[in-house]
């Protein structure tokens, strides 16, 4: 029997049933039969036919073993059972069944035992709309209804006359009412709320009596008075019964909550014991105390342990990493340096420009195998050989992380733009996911930093995000572990965000450049290096600044996204011609990124951990590699493109004047 119809789902209903039976009878709970062997199943129909032929006292003995809802269901299986269970002799059967199951009150006036059992023990479904999980019961109204339906049909007594045009409000004293409003959490003792259907039904009956009295039918006045007196008594009896039911319900809820808390505490203690046996410090294990998996109200079986262990282990190891980073800083930094050496050795095997899309060392430190090397067994010195051995699998670890990150971004995009046809198309596509995320018109942000166009921009940003974040805001081990394990998802929040309007903005740029939005990549727009003017700034009467500022495509995108009012235009850009763009680029002067210590040679690893300015790398190429005219992204590259300083926007009119003057 399911008891999910009552209270909150704090724990397994079967155990809750046993608790309440034990609590009310002070006897050990009986084990419920959960199945029958095959041989018994074959003969069940034969035995079922014998049951009605048994003596009545034996039938009653058997029926006393059933729960109220089982009795109610049994009463509807045949006329014989219905007659037996609704007879006065069955009163004790129902009474004992209710006592075993929560010690529930008896039936309210004019309600049968079967109806009462189904009402309080049945499925938690709204009687109006059918929605599930309706936990609160309105005993005074004999209804289980959801909040939405209450707001529709539950009426305050003072509004009845106006809303239903009921002119004789004396009929309200003939209708049961509740003191709980549609949205009230507590009880409003001075307010009365009536169910609309009850009012309509009583209005019809009341009207018939009134018609008879107006027609001066014999005995009409006496009949009405008798009816009224009986209804007043009935309403008073219902109110008195409901009062006891509400008190009983509060007691049941309290007991159920206490029992659930006891079981959750028992589960936590068992988890504590098991993780201690695995060698974890109790200070770190406490991190799971309020975790959803810890506060589950069921016992910790072996199957449950195998399922929750890897989930909770991440939380415990996160707490350990944060604690040791704080309390054992010199030792942890020494161990991290050994892992960094192994990571650098791997990076040297790659072409230098590939470093752009490698994760930062901070992320490598929290990959499980390296996390164990750094934070576990601190009394055992860490050897470089162990780090080098673990680093053999770095390509697999990094590839796996990127695959999960891609899936995460696609999921995020679908969540943010679910009603967009393009998003749904990408969501359905399985074989071409990497291609979709390489397009320039997929725009993401991370920690509210900038606009990251394509998956390549995202990975490039991760490689340099620590460079762009203030020292006092540097992410800790918890951030990196969450990023590696859950790709930035945490309790419904994301470190990443998808910018739906970014797709429209970039598509407008791509179309203005004569490219195909379905195939254009960020490097295509970088190569053209054209300039754009914001149309909103150009035509807005409220904008007091220059109206013809020309931006690069990346700075233009950031400008509009950061100024939400600019998104009202369907075509937000004026695309400059190549001649106009050339004039603007000339007015911009020297690329400010050349002064950043973020450049590296692409022919050797000399700048692996020592990035330099553009002039220094330029000189290195001339001397060491005999390259007089190096080409960006071929001979040298900006190693942290997401942190690259972009030229300031220039006025088109001024740029054209400067160009004509020169």
| Integer Cα distance of 78 and 87 in angstroms | 14
pTM above the 0.85 mark? Answer: no
Q: What is the pLDDT of residue 408?
A: 86
Question: Is the pLDDT confidence value at 23 over 90?
Answer: no
Adjacency order of strands within the sheet including 496-498: 449-453, 443-446, 496-498
Q: Can you tell me which residue has the tokens 């936990």?
A: 135
Question: Is the pLDDT confidence value at 187 over 60?
Answer: no
pLDDT tens, position by position, 523-552 = 999 999 999 999 888 877 767 778 899 999
Question: Is the pLDDT confidence value at 379 over 60?
Answer: yes
Q: Compute the Cα dihedral for 61, 65, 66, 67 and give only its sign.
A: positive
| Integer Cα distance of 577 and 325 in angstroms | 54
Which is more confident, 466 or 222? 222
pLDDT tens, position by position, 272-304 = 999 999 999 999 999 999 888 998 888 899 999
Q: What percent of the chain has pLDDT over 90?
A: 56
List phi, psi (to 5°) of 404: -65, -35
| Residue 35 token pair | 């199945």
Query: Among 22-26, 86-90, 507-511, which is the least confidently predicted range?
Result: 22-26
| Integer Cα distance of 617 and 594 in angstroms | 10
Enumerate residues 6+ apart whose C-beta is below 8 A from 4: 13, 123, 124
Q: How many CB atoms are closer than 10 A to CB 235? A: 18
Q: At what angle do helices 384-391 and 329-348 cross, to 10 degrees?
A: 50
DSSP letter string over 126-148?
Answer: -TTT--S-----BTTTTB---HH
DSSP letter string over 337-367?
Answer: HHHHHHHHHHHHTS-GGGGGGSPPHHHHHTS
Question: Is the pLDDT confidence value at 6 over 80?
Answer: no
Residue 497 three-state SS: strand
Detail the DSSP E strand segments found in 401-482: 443-446, 449-453
Residue 197 three-state SS: helix
| Cα pseudo-dihedral 160, 161, 164, 166, rounded to 10 | 120
Q: What is the pLDDT of residue 430?
A: 44
Q: How confident is the model at residue 167 (pLDDT cuts 50, 70, 90)?
A: low
Q: How confident is the model at residue 448 (pLDDT cuts 50, 70, 90)?
A: low
CA distances to 84, 368, 640 from 357, rounded to whole Å, are: 78, 21, 9
Cα 540-543-544 angle, rounded to 5 deg:
135
Q: Compute the Cα dihedral for 162, 166, 168, 172 and give only its sign.
A: negative
| Integer Cα distance of 440 and 445 in angstroms | 13
Question: Is the pLDDT confidence value at 657 over 90?
Answer: no
Q: How confident is the model at residue 33 (pLDDT cuts 50, 70, 90)?
A: very low
| Integer Cα distance of 383 and 391 in angstroms | 13
Find out whether 242 and 140 touch, Cβ atoms under 8 Å: yes
Q: What is the pLDDT of residue 48?
A: 52
| Integer Cα distance of 20 and 383 in angstroms | 59
| Integer Cα distance of 74 and 511 in angstroms | 71
Enumerate residues 6+ apart whose C-beta is below 8 A from 84: 56, 59, 63, 90
Q: What is the pLDDT of residue 357?
A: 93
Which is more confident, 185 or 99? 99
Q: Distance between terminal CA atoms of the chain? A: 90
CA distances to 104, 198, 308, 317 from 311, rounded to whole Å, are: 40, 52, 5, 11
Q: Can you tell me which residue has the tokens 């770095």?
A: 394
Question: Is the pLDDT confidence value at 467 over 90?
Answer: no
DSSP classification of residue 287: G
Which region holds residue 376: left if phi is over 0, alpha if psi is between -120 and 50, else beta?
beta
Q: What is the pLDDT of residue 415?
A: 77
Q: What is the pLDDT of residue 110?
A: 92
């Amino acid at each position: 029997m399911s008891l999910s119809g009552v209270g909150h789902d704090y724990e397994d209903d079967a155990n809750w049933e046993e608790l309440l039976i034990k609590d009310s009878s002070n006897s050990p709970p009986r084990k419920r039969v959960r199945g029958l062997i095959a041989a018994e199943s074959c003969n069940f129909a034969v035995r079922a036919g014998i049951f009605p032929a048994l003596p009545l006292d034996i039938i009653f003995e058997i029926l006393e073993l059933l729960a109220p809802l089982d009795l109610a269901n049994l009463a509807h299986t045949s006329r014989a059972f219905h007659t037996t269970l609704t007879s006065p002799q069955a009163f004790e059967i129902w009474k004992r069944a209710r006592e075993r199951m929560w010690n529930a009150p008896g039936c309210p006036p004019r309600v049968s035992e079967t109806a009462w059992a189904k009402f309080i023990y049945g499925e938690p479904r709204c009687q109006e709309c059918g929605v599930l999980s309706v936990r609160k019961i309105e005993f005074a109204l004999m209804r289980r209804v959801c909040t939405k339906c209450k707001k529709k049909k539950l009426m305050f007594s003072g509004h009845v006359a106006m809303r239903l045009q009921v002119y004789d409000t004396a009929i309200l004293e003939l209708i049961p009412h509740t003191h709980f409003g549609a949205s009230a959490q507590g009880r409003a003792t001075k307010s009365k709320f009536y169910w609309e259907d009850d009012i309509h039904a009583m209005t019809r009956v009341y009207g018939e009596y009134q018609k008879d009295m107006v027609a001066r039918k014999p005995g009409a006045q006496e009949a009405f008075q008798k009816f009224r007196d009986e209804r007043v008594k009935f309403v008073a009896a219902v109110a008195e019964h409901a009062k006891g039911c509400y008190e009983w319900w509060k007691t049941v809820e309290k007991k159920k909550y206490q029992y659930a808390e006891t079981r959750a505490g028992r589960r936590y203690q068992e988890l504590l014991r098991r993780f201690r046996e695995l060698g974890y410090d109790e200070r770190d294990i406490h991190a799971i105390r309020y975790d959803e998996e810890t506060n589950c109200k069921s016992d910790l079986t072996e199957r449950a342990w195998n399922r929750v262990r890897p989930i909770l282990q991440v939380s415990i190891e996160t707490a350990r990493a944060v604690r040791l980073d704080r309390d054992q800083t010199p030792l942890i930094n020494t161990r991290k340096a050994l892992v960094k050496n192994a990571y650098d050795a791997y990076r040297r095997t790659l072409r230098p420009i590939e470093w752009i899309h490698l994760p930062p060392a901070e992320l490598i430190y929290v990959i499980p195998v390296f996390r164990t090397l750094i934070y576990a067994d601190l009394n055992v010195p860490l050897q470089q050989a162990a780090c080098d051995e673990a680093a053999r699998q770095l390509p697999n670890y990094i590839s796996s992380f990127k695959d999960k990150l891609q899936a995460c971004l696609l999921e995020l995009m679908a969540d943010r733009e679910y009603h967009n046809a393009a998003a749904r198309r990408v969501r359905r596509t399985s074989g071409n996911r990497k291609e979709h995320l390489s397009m320039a018109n997929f725009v993401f942000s991370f920690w509210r930093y900038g606009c990251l166009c394509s998956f390549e921009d995202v990975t490039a940003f991760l490689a340099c995000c620590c460079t762009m974040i203030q020292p006092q805001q540097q992410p800790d081990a918890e951030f990196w572990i969450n990023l590696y394990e859950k790709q930035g998802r945490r309790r419904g929040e994301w470190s990443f965000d998808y910018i739906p309007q970014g797709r429209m903005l970039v598509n407008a740029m791509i179309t203005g450049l004569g490219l195909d939005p379905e195939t254009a990549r960020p490097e295509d727009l970088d190569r053209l290096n054209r300039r754009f003017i914001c149309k909103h700034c150009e035509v807005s009467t409220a904008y007091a600044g220059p109206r013809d500022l020309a931006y690069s495509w990346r700075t233009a995108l950031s400008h509009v996204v950061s100024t939400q009012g600019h998104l009202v235009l369907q075509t937000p850009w004026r695309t400059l011609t190549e001649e106009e763009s050339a004039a603007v680029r000339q007015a911009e002067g020297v690329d400010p990124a050349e002064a950043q210590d973020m450049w590296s040679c692409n022919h050797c690893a000399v700048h692996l951990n020592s990035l330099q300015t553009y002039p220094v790398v330029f000189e290195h190429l001339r001397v060491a590699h005999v390259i007089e005219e190096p080409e960006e992204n071929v001979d040298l590259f900006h190693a942290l493109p997401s942190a690259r300083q972009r030229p300031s926007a220039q006025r088109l009119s001024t740029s054209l004047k400067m160009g004509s003057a020169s």
